Amino acid sequence: MIKLEVSGNTSKKEQLKWTEIMDNAFIQAMITQQDKGNRINGTFTTQAYANMIEELTTKLPRDIIKMEITKNHLRNRLKTLKIRFSQWYDMFRGTSLSGFSWNPDTQLIEAEDEVWNKLIESKPEAASLKTKKVSNYNELLALFARDRASGIHAETAKEMNARLNNNDTINIETITDVDDLLATNEITLENEYNIEDDIQVLGEEIYKELAPMGLESHEIPKALNYLATNQAKARTLFSCPPEIRMDVLKDMMGADK
């Protein structure tokens, strides 16, 4: 059983309790802003957040929103939604894992029993997802699939589990348990830390992205070390189209000499 210990400072922090209705509205608002071009390199602009706050405040009844929505509320909820979505995406490769598809009527990832059994045999943790609903799956794919596929702004369920177990205020056993607590608002990840500050592009991920760029073998270690110690620049570089990454990397490293 998970034990949740809330520190004095955390309990006093003003919290916004998110409901399914609020999540649905927020996801649609993000899709709208993304379609309007107000999301650049995976990051929503300041204007996008202002637009989303106005839209949510206008559309959602006051008995649902019990406090003023701020940019930080939206940023933190976005990170939480992305982390929750990651376990689904990583398990089913979005919806590309053979035999599986998302049913908008049941809100379940569905497949024939034999297909499910084969997946569960190789990945026992998949059993908990067989009967667990996930709403707005196609919209979440549109918002987060590119980040998951590229490894940028991405955190696997295993990485999240390990990091939370190192947090003094939360003791967890499985990523599924965390998802259940998030869904019932028993915990909110945004209350414990600023997730954006924890997003790291790991050395192995950096190497995989550098390898096809055409660097000389002796140049790769230097570039890897540079990007690992300049995380913001690593995220910027790998969100660029592959054909211009070499030039961008040279500009970055040349400017810092």
Helix (H, G, I), strand (E, B) or coil at 102: strand
Residue at which a domain ends, from 197, 213, 244: 197
Mean pLDDT of the chain: 75
Q: With cut-offs at 50, 70 and 90, classify the pLDDT of residue 89.
A: confident
Q: Are 78 and 190 within one domain?
A: yes
Is 175 inside any structural domain? yes
Contacts of 21 (CB under 8 A, 6+ apart): 60, 64
Is 183 inside any structural domain? yes
Percent of the chain with pLDDT over 90: 22
Tokens of 164: 């939370």
Residue located via tokens 């930080």: 72
β pairing state of 101-103 and 108-110: antiparallel
Is the distance from CB of 106 to CB of 133 less than 8 angstroms? yes
Residue at which a domain ends, from 152, 169, 197: 197
Residue 197 has pLDDT above 60, yes or no: no
Q: Are 192 and 208 within one domain?
A: no
Residue 11 has pLDDT above 90, yes or no: no
What is the model's pLDDT at position 227? Answer: 87
What is the model's pLDDT at position 122? Answer: 87
What is the model's pLDDT at position 65? Answer: 74
Give the chain's largest Cα–Cα span: 61
Q: Are 155 and 221 within one domain?
A: no
Q: Are 163 and 217 within one domain?
A: no
Report the pLDDT averaged over residues 20-39: 93
Tokens of 167: 């947090």
Is 123 inside any structural domain? no
Chain segment 213-244, per-residue pLDDT in tens = 888 888 888 998 888 888 888 878 877 778 78
Number of domains in the chain: 2
Q: Is 110 left (phi over 0), alpha (psi -120 to 50) or beta?
A: beta
Q: Are 172 and 83 within one domain?
A: yes
Is 107 inside any structural domain? no
Report the pLDDT averaged over residues 6-23: 65
What is the model's pLDDT at position 187? Answer: 45
Q: Are 171 and 251 within one domain?
A: no
How long, in residues, is the chain? 257
Report the pLDDT averaged over residues 63-81: 86
What is the model's pLDDT at position 46? Answer: 92
Residue with more model confidence, 186 or 63: 63
- Find the domain containing 48 and state its range: 3-95+135-197
Cα separation, 44 vs 34, in Å, equals 8
- Residue 174's alpha-carbon distances to 159, 162, 165, in angstroms, are 11, 10, 10
What is the model's pLDDT at position 235? Answer: 79
Report the pLDDT averaged over residues 127-156: 75
Q: With cut-offs at 50, 70 and 90, classify the pLDDT of residue 256.
A: low
Q: Are 89 and 212 within one domain?
A: no
Residue with more model confidence, 149 or 33: 33
Q: Are 60 and 83 within one domain?
A: yes
The amino acid at residue 62 is R
Q: With cut-offs at 50, 70 and 90, classify the pLDDT of residue 149.
A: low
Q: Are 154 and 245 within one domain?
A: no
Residue with more model confidence, 163 or 69: 69
Is 72 inside any structural domain? yes
Q: With cut-offs at 50, 70 and 90, classify the pLDDT of residue 54.
A: very high
Q: Are 18 and 37 within one domain?
A: yes
Cα separation, 84 vs 134, in Å, equals 10
What is the model's pLDDT at position 247? Answer: 87
Burial of 64 (0-12, 13-18, 19+ CB in 10 A): middle
